[in-house]
Each structure stands twice: as structure tokens, then as C-alpha cells.
Structure 1
């Protein structure tokens, strides 16, 4: 026959069950730590003015009676006792006015240097040039060269005539060239050219013959009425200094020239002779062709 369980066993089981229920139902949380103060925390000290406990009496106010011994609510006490020094409340020191805090000097803001950038003008675009569109230079021919020289001589002659007109009252000048058709001037010019050509071929520059140098130049020779030379000027160079200098020397060697005939001397003091000199490949001196 079984023995009944002791009564303590059910009690232990119930207690264990109760503890389990409490453990699983009640949550325990650790206390929240206080927030840590930042390292940059500042200690602020507040200063307050000490205000006296008793305000000064008003001008019309009646002073309050001092504390008297034996005062009754009815105020009929027969004996009044003076307050001892111990009974007098100590007087508080008068507040000392603190000087106003001095504000730190404000620093003036640095003036920023303003840099003004001037806009640079945009470069002008260069249009491409078509090499095929460029006009080709015409080939120079002997006829075109002589034509251009003749036009240049004609222009120079007209310029000299205008200069002579402006210098009226001074020397009377007349410009002549191979295209001059007036008979009196044409005859004198032909005689002058024959003499220059003869002297020029006798004194042809040897260097030009040895090196086969040739070329054309326009020379202006001013001849006075007595046949002397006033001045010599190269109007258009041949490109070779030896030929230009040779032409000048030939004019000097051929001087003096024939005096002006009466029909020229009556109204002309100086003849401005403009001719195109030709140093040919054959080594002889020639002139431009007359038309």
C-alpha cells in the first residue's frame, strides 16, 4: 500500500511554478544612465542684486510702532521695554553697483579685395581661304611691260607739267618723253637720245657684259637751256644697282648737251626728259619703242 506524499512536495511545486511565472512575466530593465555632459559645457554664474528686505517708508506714511514688551492686542500695556542691541535686526550692507560689462572690441571685417576681370575680346574668326579660289597672276609679257612703263611715263609727265604750272614765275619747265608729239620737243629729244646711246655703248658697263646682266629702268634727266644737267633721278629701278649707276654715269659722260633752239628757249627754261633705258642681253644700250 502506497504511502501518501508528504504535504511539502505540493507546496514546493507550487512555489516553483509561481517563481517561473514571475520570472517570465516581469521584465527587468537596467536604469538609464544620465546623459554625459559635453566637454564644452560652461559654468554660468548668475549675479543678482541684493535687494533690501525693508523698503524705505513713504513720505506720508506713519512709522510702525516698535516691538514693545507686554503689548496686547488692545495696546494698553503699562510697561514698555526698550529693545536691546541683540533684538535689533542687523543692517544689511548696501548693494555695490557692479560696473557694466565691457563688450570686447569688435574686429573690423577684412575688406575683400574685389578683382575685376575684364572680359577679353573674342578673337575674330579667320575665314579659311580656298587656295583654288585665288586668282592666278597673269604671265607678264614684253608688250605688257612696255605698256605699263609707257603709262607710268605719261603719268609722270603730266605730274611734272602740273608742277611746272605751280612754279610759274620761277623756272619754266617742260616734261617730254617718247610719246611727245610736238615737233620742236620731239626733234630735240631724238638728238639727245642719239648722243646718249652713242656714249652709252662706248662706255657700256663691263661687269654687265661679263655677267650677262640686263634690265630696264626709268630715268629722269633735267636739262637746262644751255645744255647742262640740272639733276638726275632714278624713277624706277632695274633691280640691279650696277645698271642704275651705269645709266647715271652715261648721262654725266654725255653732258653737256646741245643748247635749246630758239623755239624752245622762248618759253622753256628746263626740259624734264623721262626715258626708259634698256640694257639688253646683247650688251648694248637701247630705248623703249615709240608708238
Structure 2
């Protein structure tokens, strides 16, 4: 039995995975803020999940943690996780000492990429290569090649949200101007479609479907940005599949159909893009699948070498 824990800004999700890769049980907990609270959240989550599964923590083979921020997987250290109030935390060693179980830590988007890759192989062979495009407040990607995470020399492989695409665009939080994240993310939708609705993306798509002219313009800007992210991932890594996940993946079929429409429109004007058949490579992750927690369980079970 191995555990995977996805520590998010407000909620922590965890899964227990059997040796054959099947998911056994899942739990959700609120996430605390600050270093001590994050550690306690992880400990409470392990205690609750082992109780649900019916085993002692000492019987767990491994534990993996997916968490936002800059992560040094080898050291188990997390830095710059602003939404969690972390500027530096040796999370892996601290938890391993408290639990007596091997603990590995990975960036949450990269962990989710492994989880999505695992899902794609549930009913057949795993694709040789896959990119996980995370559409949340920001935009980032995780890339799996030959069953291994592509991390890069400094762990930033897949940070395509900070690739500038419009020199005259708005300033990004990273300090650059016109980054992809500024047009294809939850924060981009909030800027393009200001609203008090707690689910602005859903409201935007509903208003666009009803024919609201400004909503249609904002929706098309967003969808074009997502399609551009897919194109960028394929042109740089030529992955077999691009799986869209993150909070905005809850848009479901309207998101998938819209991105396919944009990609097919580009293909109609470009024989080169037509030859790549971009639209056929894109899917949206099923609603409710705990990709980051599943990926964390896999990270915990097998230390992925840097590549």
C-alpha cells in the first residue's frame, strides 16, 4: 500500500494505492496555512487515511506529496509556495522522521502529470509521451516521456505559462509581459470577464453560449490561449497526448470542443499543422479524478531520476 497526498491552497486530497495500481480509498481535508500547519495537515491526512484503509502507518510502503511551489525532490524541500505561506520547508525529511516511512515530495503539477499518465494506461498501454496542461489560477504543464517526468536542469520544465506570446500584452506576475498565462488561466478569465460569480469561468461560458457578444469575445480569447498552449507543447516535445486538467477542466466538453475547434481552424489554414493532427491529441481529464494525489503515490513509490 502506498499513499499519495495532494496539498492544495485550501484543500488536501489523499489516495491509497494498491500494489497493482488500483485506488483503494480517498480522503479530503482542509489545508492549514504556514509551515507548522502544513506539516500537521499532512500528518492528520496520513492518520485519517490509514484509519480508513485499516492499516498502521508503519505498514505503508511509501508516501508521496504533491505540493505547489519550487520543489527540490531529492532533498524533499519546498520553497516559495506563497498560497501555503511557505518560504522554505524540509517537508519530506520532517514527515519521514515523524512517520517512519519513506516520503518523497514533488511539485503538484508534475505529480498530476504522472497521475494523468497512470489514468491513460488504465484501459490499455500507457502512451510513450504525454503532457499534462494544468489550467488553474495560473497555467503550467508537466511532461512525461518514456514513463519518466521531464524536470529539466532546474526543475522548471513545462513552465510554459511564462512563455511570452504578446509583447504588448499585460504584465504577468512573473515580471514579464504578455505571458501565455495572462490569456489562458483562471486569472486571465477574471480579468477578461469581471464578475462577482464564484465560478467565473462557468458564467463566462454560459453567457457566451447565450450569445452575449463580450462573453463570446472573452471566451474565444481564452480558448485561443489554451489552444496555443497545446500547440506549444506539441511543437516542443511532440507528445502523443495532451491532457487538460486543473480547476478549469471542470468546464468539460465545452472546453474540449472549443479547443478542438480552434486547433482544427488553424489546421485548415496550415498544411504543416494539419499534418500534426493536434486536435486528436487533446483530451480533458475526467471530473473528480485526483490526478495530483495519484501521481504523488507514484512519486513516493519510485524515485524518478532527473531528466
TM-score, normalization by structure 1 = 0.20
- Which structure has more strand as a fraction of its residues? 2
TM-score, normalization by structure 2 = 0.19
Q: Which has the higher contact order (CA 8 A, sep 6+)?
A: 2
